């Protein structure tokens, strides 16, 4: 048997039901069901970075935002409440169903009535949502360690580049991409993942067991087994991630946006001067004006 990717040697996540061409790790509904418990109170989660994000978006005159990994809708909802126009997409209908429910419950509020929610996959994003792009979004956000779900076994990271190219195409000239990933440099060095962070501050997370799969001598996949304890019940789910190392990820962004594109880096939404070993890196990269 010829081995062509890490996936073919080790089944590390929910097989997923592929409606759009990617495996939906959330397809069995286990993570989706406890996701909001994992996140903790929605407001206290977004309070951790709301001011930073809103100030940033306003300072760049952003009004129309595309949330490309909306999941259950936590960031999109915050942005709608702050007066932004939001289009939210995700590949997982199991996750989207919670966002759709919120839109329905709040349909009497004009912002929620106008909220566009679509199923879409980053690899075909530009075509999937073409009718909503218009002159391009002011900002694309991909937060909560979402991008790392996209596996890529090609040494040149073809799929990652394709997805980021699609994000770039959805932006207007001068628009910005805000995208994050966990601090995989540290995870690879220590072999462990902090259970609590600015995104996941619930008191219910008991543990995240971390495994690193090496493939052809290189770290190829990080698998996290989550244990959530709430209301005397224990829920477990497994998610796998591509371990984006900071230097390489920055290089890919520059390759897609161009070497002159303005790129800024934050740690846990703070300046890197103020934080030594962040749980998350957040990249801000701007599309050139011409
Ligand atoms: C870790 S969850 C985060 C959701 C939300 N941003 C949050 O922080 O709560 C990651 C989301 O990315 C979505 N996702 C993963 N791969 C995707 C792809 N190729 N296209 C679109 N969405 C994808 C998953 O379905 C999931 O809802």
Supply the residue whose CA is at minimum distance from atom 27 of ligand 1.
71
65 or 18, which is more confident?
65
27 or 152, which is more confident?
152
Tell me what percent of the residues of the chain surpass a pLDDT of 70: 83
Give the range among 56-65, 111-120, 194-203, 244-253 with minimum mean pLDDT.
194-203
**pTM score of the predicted model:** 0.89
The pair of three-digit structure tokens given for residue 210, joined into one six-digit string:
């971390």
Q: Is the pLDDT of residue 74 over 50?
A: yes
Q: Is the CB of 224 under 6 A from ligand 1?
A: no
Please report the domains of the chain, with CATH numbers, ordered by start residue: 28-181+243-285 (3.40.50.150)
> Which uninterrupted H or E stretch holds 137?
strand 137-142
Q: Is the pLDDT of residue 16 over 60?
A: no
Closest atom, ligand 1, to C-alpha of 121: 20
170 or 16, which is more confident?
170
CA torsion through residues 21, 101, 52, 82, sign: positive
Residue 229's region, left for phi above 0, alpha for psi from -120 to 50, else beta, is: beta
Characterize the bridge pairing of strands 263-267 and 270-271.
Answer: antiparallel
Q: Is the pLDDT of residue 18 over 50?
A: no
| Cα(142)–Cα(35) distance, integer angstroms | 17
* Mean residue pLDDT across the chain: 87
Q: Is the CB of 88 under 6 A from ligand 1?
A: no
Span from the CA of 163 to the centroid of ligand 1 (angstroms): 13
200 given a catalytic annotation: yes
CA angle 67, 69, 71 (to 5 degrees): 110
Residue 265, Cβ neighbours under 10 Å: how many? 16
Instruction: For residue 3, name the pLDDT band (cuts at 50, 70, 90).
Output: very low
> Which uninterrupted H or E stretch holds 266?
strand 263-267
28 or 149, which is more confident?
149
Site to probe by mutation for ligand 1, drawn from 149, 223, 280 as the one with most ligand atoms within 8 Å of Cβ, is 149
**Cβ atoms of residues 32 and 72 within 8 Å:** yes
178 is in an annotated binding site: no
| Cα(228)–Cα(99) distance, integer angstroms | 21
Q: 243: which strand partners?
A: none
| 225: helix, strand or coil | strand
Span from the CA of 39 to the centroid of ligand 1 (angstroms): 14
Closest atom, ligand 1, to C-alpha of 71: 27
Closest atom, ligand 1, to C-alpha of 74: 9
Give the range among 77-81, 226-230, 243-247 with minimum mean pLDDT.
226-230
| Cα(171)–Cα(256) distance, integer angstroms | 13
């Amino acid at each position: 048997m010829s081995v062509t990717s890490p996936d073919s040697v080790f089944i590390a996540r929910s097989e997923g039901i592929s409606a759009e061409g990617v495996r939906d790790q959330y397809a069995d509904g286990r993570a989706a069901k406890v996701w909001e418990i994992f996140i903790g109170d929605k407001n206290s989660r977004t309070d951790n970075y709301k001011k930073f994000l809103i100030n940033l978006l306003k300072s760049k005159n952003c009004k129309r935002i595309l949330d490309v990994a909306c999941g259950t809708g936590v960031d999109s909802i915050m942005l709608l409440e702050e007066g932004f126009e939001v289009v939210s997409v995700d590949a997982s209908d199991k996750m989207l169903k919670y966002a759709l429910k919120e839109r329905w419950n709040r349909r009497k509020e004009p912002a929620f009535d106008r909220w566009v929610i679509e199923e879409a996959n980053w690899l075909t994003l530009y075509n999937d949502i073409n009718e909503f792009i218009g002159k391009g979004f002011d900002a694309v956000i991909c937060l909560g360690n979402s991008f790392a779900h996209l596996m890529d076994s090609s040494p040149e990271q073809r799929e990652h580049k394709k997805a980021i190219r699609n994000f770039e195409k959805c932006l207007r000239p001068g628009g910005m991409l805000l995208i994050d990933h966990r601090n995989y440099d540290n995870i690879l060095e220590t072999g462990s993942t902090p259970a609590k962070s600015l995104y996941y501050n619930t008191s219910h997370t008991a543990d995240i067991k971390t495994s690193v799969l090496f493939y052809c001598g290189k770290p190829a996949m990080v698998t996290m087994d989550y244990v959530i304890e709430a209301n005397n019940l224990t829920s477990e789910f497994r998610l796998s991630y591509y371990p984006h190392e900071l230097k390489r990820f920055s290089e890919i962004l520059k390759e897609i946006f161009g070497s002159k594109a303005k790129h800024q880096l934050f740690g846990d939404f703070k300046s890197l001067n103020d934080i030594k070993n962040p749980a998350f890196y957040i990249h801000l990269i701007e599309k050139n004006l011409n």
